């Protein structure tokens, strides 16, 4: 009990094809794959950024050298050149 047999899996696939249509399924799978790759690359970037922050937090800040903010680029899925874009860190624009 609780296990899906081959007939149940085939029935589920037939229902999915009937609901979404055979033409939309490859596009949906492709967009899901792109989303998964972007999520993975963002998680990797956040993890490496967190490691960089912990190593720089231990070092005392040097007031003599002011470094400009680093511009990061969000990596797109392989082959998708339209969605990669430069990203600037938010700055405080309030005037006092």
- Structural tokens at position 28: 């949906």
CB-based contacts of 69: which residues, under 8 Å, 6+ apart?
88, 89, 91
pLDDT tens digits, residue range 27-68? 888 999 999 999 999 999 988 887 776 665 555 555 555 666
Which one, of 25, 27, 26, lies nearest residue 16 by Cα? Answer: 25
The Cα-based distances of 18 to 12, 14, 32, 74, 90 in angstroms read 10, 6, 19, 36, 46
Coil vs helix vs strand at 17: helix
pLDDT tens digits, residue range 61-92? 555 556 666 666 666 666 665 555 555 656 66
């Amino acid at each position: 009990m609780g296990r899906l047999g081959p007939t149940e899996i085939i029935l589920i696939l037939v229902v999915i094809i009937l609901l979404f249509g055979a033409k939309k399924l490859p596009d949906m799978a492709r967009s899901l794959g792109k989303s998964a790759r972007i999520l993975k690359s963002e998680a990797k970037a956040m993890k490496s950024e967190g490691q960089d922050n912990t190593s720089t937090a231990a070092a005392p800040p040097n007031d003599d050298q002011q470094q400009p903010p680093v511009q990061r680029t969000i990596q797109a899925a392989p082959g998708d050149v339209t969605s990669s874009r430069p990203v600037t860190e938010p700055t405080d624009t309030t005037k006092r």
